[in-house]
Amino acid sequence: MNLGSTAILAHMRQGREYSVTYLARLLGQPASMTRRLLAELVKEGLVQTTTQTSWSTVYILTPTDAETGSQASAEGAGPPVTIATSPMKQRLGGAELQGYEASLSRHRSLAMLGRGGR
């Protein structure tokens, strides 16, 4: 691995896809040199190609063993427990509502009046 490959890896982030032209522009190098460096990184297994069309190739950073191990342990722990609740807003200090909030308050009061006070 040479200095150019190290610079490419330093700019790449996990989970993001990069085109050759974007990385070349980012590093200030010609696209041909960047394409050659990316091919070396693919051979070394540090970068993967994810999408290939007739006119472009997209590259993504390969996860390291430590990252895949932490993801597997997080998945093995089970899904996180969440409780869905509606957002609760409290009026503090009895300040008068204005604008849209006042309109909603009047609408809610009218709707409750129509229910018969249940």
* 12-33 pLDDT tens trace: 888 788 888 888 888 888 988 9
| pLDDT in the model for residue 116 | 66
| Domain layout of the chain by residue ranges | 3-61
CATH fold of the domain at 3-61: Arc Repressor Mutant, subunit A (1.10.10)
Other CB atoms within a 10 A radius of the CB of residue 37 amount to: 25
pLDDT tens digits for 56-103? 677 788 776 544 444 555 555 566 666 666 666 655 555 677 788 888
Helix (H) / strand (E) containing 52:
strand 47-52
Q: Choose between 116 and 102: higher pLDDT.
A: 102
3-state secondary structure of 101: helix
Q: How far apart are CA 49 and CA 51, in angstroms?
A: 6
Helix (H) / strand (E) containing 17:
strand 17-19
| Spacing of C-alpha 90 from chain mean position | 32
Q: Choose between 93 and 106: higher pLDDT.
A: 106
